[in-house]
Structure 1
Amino acid sequence: MSDVRHNVCLIDDDKIYQFTAKMILEATGLTHSIKTFFNGQEAIDYLISPENQVPENLPDVIFLDINMPVMNGWEFLEAFSLFYKELPKRIVVYMVSSSVDESDIQKSRTYEPVTDYVIKPINKDKYRELLSVLVN
């Protein structure tokens, strides 16, 4: 197993999902820190804040839900797409949803920051696979 540990960001309004995802991610042994946000706006505010414009404070990967109040996953991607290339490091974004709707999967592929679309629930092996890809 790799010694590389990643800063992870979970953006999802479901507290139970956040809790279980955090536990599973920690169990992979591949995380350094896990930040959680309940909607896209909270995450955007964090990502653009001046104190977070150093690589150590930014996530390596974002697991982004689609359906959330205030700012949903699509709205987050619209906002994130405007500034993500200016961040001091590359952030991998995975769309994470229980939706198996092909239109959602296709729509996610139209956003440059999105690496892949992952269907919930996600088990430890899948999280390990997704995080291991970041090393390369």
Structure 2
Amino acid sequence: MSKFNFGDVFIIDDDIVVRILVMKILKNIGYQGNIHQFENGELALNEITEPTKDVTKSGFNLVLLDINMPTLDGWGFLDGFTALADDQKKGHYITMITSSIDLSDKEKAFSYPDVKDFIQKPVSVQLLKDFLIQHKLLEE
């Protein structure tokens, strides 16, 4: 049986097809935790900063973040996240998942200390599984 080493999942992407696909992949590989969906960075940042939100039992939540979104894009989310107090930030493991093939976007993403990885779409079962195993977020 697979063991997931994170709590909840936050999928931040304006494309509902991507959100549903990632949810289905996670469920298919055995993830049974909570999955929260947000169509823009503002909604996600509001959820993360809500005073009643605690770090999960697993110590942190997995955040899958797109770059290009309306209202507040991935960069705006990261700027807002970076400005949070350390105790609010420590509970989140951020990975960019984007269709961008621009090397400058990848470099910019890694300029944020809270970004752990950069994955290019399209997302597949194998791509997501490999990412989780590589970062020790999944033990099979």
Query: Could you say what secondary structure the match of 1:51 adopts?
Result: coil
| Uncovered stretches (5+) of structure 1, i.e. residues with no partner | none
* 1:22–1:59 distance in 2 versus 1, CA, 3 Å: farther
Identity of aligned pairs, percent? 30
Cα offsets for 1:19-66 (capped at 9, x unmatched)? 1111111111134111000000000100011111x1129962100000
**1:134 and 1:41 mapped to 2: Cα distance?**
29
Question: Are 2:97 and 2:120, in contact at CA under 8 Å, matched by a contact in 1?
Answer: yes
SS for the counterpart of 1:21 is helix
CA offset at residue 8 of structure 1?
0.7
The match for 2:4 is 4
C-alpha change, 1:31 and 1:83, in structure 2 (3 Å) is: farther
**Residue in 2 aligned with 1:18?**
19
The answer as to whether partners of 1:30 and 1:131 remain within 8 angstroms in 2 is: no
Q: Which residue of 2 aligns with 1:107?
A: 108
Structure 1 distance, partners of 2:5, 2:112, is 26
Q: Which residue of 2 aligns with 1:46?
A: 47
CA-based RMSD of the aligned residues comes to 2.2
Cα pair 1:96 1:120 within 8 Å, conserved: yes
TM superposition shift of 1:71: 0.2
Letter in 1 for 2:31: L
TM-score normalised to structure 1 length? 0.88
Structure 2: state its 5+ residue gaps. Answer: none
Aligned to 1:117: 118
